[in-house]
Amino acid sequence: WRSMEIEKIAPISRGAATAFVLKETDQLVISGRP
């Protein structure tokens, strides 16, 4: 049952990590604009 829990959580944390990276990238792009 534990692997089922991990499968449930993994996509969420993966999505959160992706969103975080995208947000950080946006910040860099915005601050890099003249």
pLDDT tens profile 1-34: 567 777 777 787 888 889 888 998 888 887 876 6
The tally of domains found in the chain comes to 1
- What pLDDT sits at residue 1? 56
Question: Which residue, chain included where needed, has tokens 């950080």?
Answer: 24
Residue 11 CA to residue 31 CA, distance in Å, equals 30
Question: 15 lies in which domain range?
Answer: 1-34
- What pLDDT sits at residue 34? 63
